[in-house]
């Protein structure tokens, strides 16, 4: 499984604490053993969201939370509930299958990513490091569905709070949007466009404000919604 990464190169993280919420004891124990040989350590593991919300966290708040994604109708979003108790922790929805609707719900509630349980260990560790850097990770299948039209972009845009219709973009802003769809970090965008990283940041800030989105991921989805395709961008 491939992932869509947004942002900077990875730094080294040592002893980053993780909470796992999953009904499967086998999965929880497996992740604990696997992460024992990495820079991540499982500080807590719970079989349900309710157990995690009720338990005393004597070891302190975790930095990352891997949350089994089982939202149910007529219930509060589980990401929202976790963030209310642990506002500084980054939550990653962890699912068995790619559900576009659930993925949008998770990101909308403030999740830092949506991952599938069949991913490789290397991809998982790489994803966790990116999330610690403040980036958002999700399967590349999302972009594919958006491009082919098999996923309702209007629904995704609505739930993510993306409006921005009628925004007039400059040629430079359009170039940056194409780079964002390709997943390029600021350093690569600067090299592609022959400008400085500082200039990229200035344009990016103005772009996000103009199309009324909050981050790079939402900007990429907005671009796809408006007919801007990743294969229109420059090659890295």
Q: Is 156 among the domain residues?
A: no
| Percentage of residues of the chain with pLDDT beyond 70 | 75
- Does position 158 have pLDDT exceeding 70, yes or no? no
Cβ-defined contacts of 84-87 (< 8 Å, 24+): 85/53, 86/61, 86/62
pLDDT band at 2 (very low <50, low <70, confident <90, very high): very low
Same domain as 180, residue 128: no
Same domain as 123, residue 61: yes
- pLDDT, average across residues 154-159: 39
Closest to 182 measured CA to CA, from 142, 225, 220, 219? 220
Q: Is 105 among the domain residues?
A: yes
The strand pair at 113-116 and 90-95 is best described as parallel
pLDDT of residue 6: 40
Quick one: which H or E segment has residue 5?
Answer: strand 3-5
- Residue 65: partners with Cβ closer than 8 Å, 6 or more residues away: 18, 19, 20, 21, 82, 86, 89, 90, 91, 92
Residue 144 main-chain phi, psi, to 5 deg: -65, -45
> Within 13 Å, how many C-alpha atoms sit on residue 85's CB side?
18
Same domain as 117, residue 31: yes
Q: Is 157 among the domain residues?
A: no
Q: How far is CA 100 from CA 5, 136, 143, in A?
A: 17, 15, 11
Are 18 and 65 in contact by the 8 Å Cβ rule? The answer is: yes
Domain residues for the domain of 205 are 164-232
Same domain as 23, residue 126: yes
pLDDT of residue 140: 59
Closest to 4 measured CA to CA, from 109, 102, 145? 145
pLDDT of residue 72: 64
Q: Is 149 among the domain residues?
A: no
> How far is residue 157's CA from residue 146's CA, in Å, rounded to a whole number?
11
Same domain as 219, residue 185: yes
Same domain as 129, residue 197: no
Q: Write the burial class of residue 11 (CB in 10 Å: 0-12 exposed, 13-18 middle, 19+ buried).
A: exposed
What are the structure tokens assigned to 132, written together? Answer: 């610690």
Q: Is 148 among the domain residues?
A: no
Q: How many domains does the chain have?
A: 2
What are the structure tokens assigned to 40, written together? Answer: 């991540």
pLDDT of residue 96: 84
Q: Which of 139, 172, 198 is the last residue of a domain?
A: 139
CATH number of the domain residue 214 falls in: 1.10.10.10
Same domain as 171, residue 214: yes
Q: Which of 89, 123, 139 is the last residue of a domain?
A: 139
Q: Is 191 among the domain residues?
A: yes
Same domain as 134, residue 23: yes
What are the structure tokens assigned to 236, written together? Answer: 């890295």
Q: Which of the residue ranges 36-40, 83-87, 132-136, 152-156 has the most confident prediction, judged by mean pLDDT?
A: 83-87
pLDDT of residue 211: 83
Q: What mean pLDDT value characterizes the chain?
A: 77
pLDDT of residue 105: 80
Same domain as 132, residue 168: no
Same domain as 97, residue 191: no
CATH number of the domain residue 69 falls in: 3.40.50.2300
Same domain as 110, residue 73: yes
Same domain as 119, residue 172: no
Are 94 and 117 in contact by the 8 Å Cβ rule? The answer is: yes
pLDDT tens digit string along 83-106?
Answer: 999 999 999 998 887 777 777 788
> How far is residue 160's CA from residue 178's CA, in Å, rounded to a whole number?
20
């Amino acid at each position: 499984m491939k992932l869509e990464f947004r942002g900077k190169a990875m730094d080294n993280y040592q002893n980053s604490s993780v909470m796992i919420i999953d009904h499967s004891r086998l999965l929880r124990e497996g992740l604990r053993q696997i992460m024992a040989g990495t820079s991540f350590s499982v500080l807590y593991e719970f079989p349900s969201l309710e157990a995690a919300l009720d338990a005393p966290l004597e070891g302190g708040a975790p930095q990352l939370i891997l949350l089994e994604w089982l939202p149910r109708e007529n219930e509060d979003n589980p990401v929202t509930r976790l963030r209310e108790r642990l506002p500084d922790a980054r939550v990653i929805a962890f699912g068995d299958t790619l559900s576009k609707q659930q993925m949008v719900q998770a990101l909308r509630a403030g999740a830092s990513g949506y991952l599938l349980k069949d991913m490789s260990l290397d991809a998982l560790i790489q994803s966790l490091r990116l999330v610690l850097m403040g980036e958002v990770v999700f399967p590349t299948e999302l972009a594919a569905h958006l491009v082919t039209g098999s996923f309702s972009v209007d629904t995704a845009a609505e739930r993510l709070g993306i409006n921005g219709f009628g925004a007039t973009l400059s040629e430079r802003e359009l170039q940056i949007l194409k780079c964002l769809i390709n997943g390029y970090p600021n350093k690569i965008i600067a090299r592609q466009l022959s400008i400085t990283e500082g200039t990229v940041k200035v344009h990016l800030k103005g772009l996000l404000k103009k199309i009324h989105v909050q981050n790079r991921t939402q900007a990429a989805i907005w671009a796809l919604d408006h007919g801007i395709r990743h294969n229109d961008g420059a090659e890295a």
